[in-house]
Amino acid sequence: MRRSTPWLTAVLVVGLLVLSACAGANEAATGDDLAGFWPGLWHGFITPVSLVISWFDSGVGIYEVDNNGGWYDTGFVLGVSFVFGSVLGGGSRATGSRR
């Protein structure tokens, strides 16, 4: 066994606990005007800006709690992955490529 295995296991367990703490039913979403795919996509795009603003204004969140579930989540994840995927190396060239 490698020495990093306990460290990696601890990080994975803590990560799963953090993610499971966020899971649950959205009891606030009871109205007819719920955020769907397109608002989720937009909120995913503006996540970095919303995060910074939420540090200074407690009334601003990065995730809409009044959403319709799966479609909002899909749009949100696509928006976040577009922003952070392109910023964090999504456009980098593959290793081992020839010029």
**68 part of a folded domain:** yes
Q: How far apart are CA 42 and CA 76, in angstroms?
A: 7
96 Rama class: left (phi>0) / alpha (psi -120 to 50) / beta? left
**12 part of a folded domain:** no
**58 part of a folded domain:** yes
**55 part of a folded domain:** yes
Is the model's pLDDT at 6 over the cut of 70? Answer: yes
- More confident position, 52 or 99: 52
Mean pLDDT, residues 69-75 taken together: 87
Number of domains in the chain: 1
Report the pLDDT value the prediction gives residue 82, as an integer from 0 to 100.
Answer: 85
pTM equals 0.55
Q: How far apart are CA 63 and CA 77, in angstroms?
A: 11
**73 part of a folded domain:** yes
**52 part of a folded domain:** yes
Identity of the amino acid at 51: L
Domain that holds residue 83: 34-90
Local confidence band at 21 (pLDDT 50, 70, 90 cut-offs): low
